[in-house]
């Protein structure tokens, strides 16, 4: 009983820590500018400025355009990663071919490279291709995700080999097995 209470207490504390920035952000968005920088902290505002603040946010800057840009870029990156990472992960998990272990080792080693390391070469490459200040400059560097390959490989390893063998006996190609 004590262990269960302790576990729940730890989980509730973790949830509070994770939710605190969002609650604070929402609280600040409801306050007038003078109250935001007040030395006295209050979660609920004394004067509600929700309508004024949100109206200003949507009229002074093209916030809807920013949100649509983010949605479009996210959708493109998701589609590109699905098209690249899924087949590679399936090949690493379920197909037998020479160099499979070396390819997986390269994926794991690529996970160790911080994203800041290729930043300057990526910038130079995008500049030489004339892609700066375009959607492609955001999308192309994110099309191949080694973390996505690793994560999906781990998932494909949980799929029983008998299920894949049955799919092959039913006449499905390797591509059809990956996508179903």
What span, in angstroms and rounded, lies between the C-alpha atoms of 77 and 98? 30
Residue 180 confidence (pLDDT) above 90: no
Same domain, 98 and 42: no
Looking at residue 132, its pLDDT comes to 95
How many structural domains are present in the chain? 2
Position with higher pLDDT, 42 vs 23: 23
Same domain, 47 and 19: yes
Per-residue pLDDT band for 48 (boundaries 50, 70, 90) equals: confident
Looking at residue 25, its pLDDT comes to 94
Task: Please check whether residue 67 lies inside any domain of the structure.
Answer: no
Task: Please check whether residue 8 lies inside any domain of the structure.
Answer: yes
Same domain, 157 and 83: yes
- Low-confidence winner among 14-18, 28-32, 124-128 (lowest mean pLDDT): 28-32
Task: Please check whether residue 114 lies inside any domain of the structure.
Answer: yes
Domain with 37, as residue range(s), is 2-60
pTM of the model: 0.76
Task: Please check whether residue 9 lies inside any domain of the structure.
Answer: yes
CATH number of residue 145's parent domain: 1.10.3720.10
């Amino acid at each position: 009983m004590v262990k269960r209470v302790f576990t729940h207490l730890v989980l509730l504390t973790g949830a509070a820590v994770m939710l605190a920035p969002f609650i604070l952000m929402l609280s600040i968005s409801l306050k007038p500018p003078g109250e935001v920088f007040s030395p006295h902290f209050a979660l609920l505002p004394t004067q509600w400025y929700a309508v004024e603040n949100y109206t200003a946010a949507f009229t002074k800057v093209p916030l809807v355009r920013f949100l649509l840009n983010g949605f479009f870029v996210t959708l493109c990156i998701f589609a590109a990663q699905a098209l690249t990472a899924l087949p590679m992960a399936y090949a690493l998990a379920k197909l037998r071919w020479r160099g499979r272990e070396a390819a997986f080792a390269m994926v794991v080693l690529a996970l160790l490279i911080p994203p800041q390391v290729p930043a300057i070469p990526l910038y130079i490459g995008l500049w030489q291709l004339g892609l700066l200040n375009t959607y492609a400059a955001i999308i192309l560097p994110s099309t191949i995700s080694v973390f996505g390959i690793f994560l999906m490989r781990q998932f494909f390893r949980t799929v029983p080999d008998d299920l894949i063998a049955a799919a092959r006996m039913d006449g499905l190609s390797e591509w059809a097995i990956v996508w179903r």
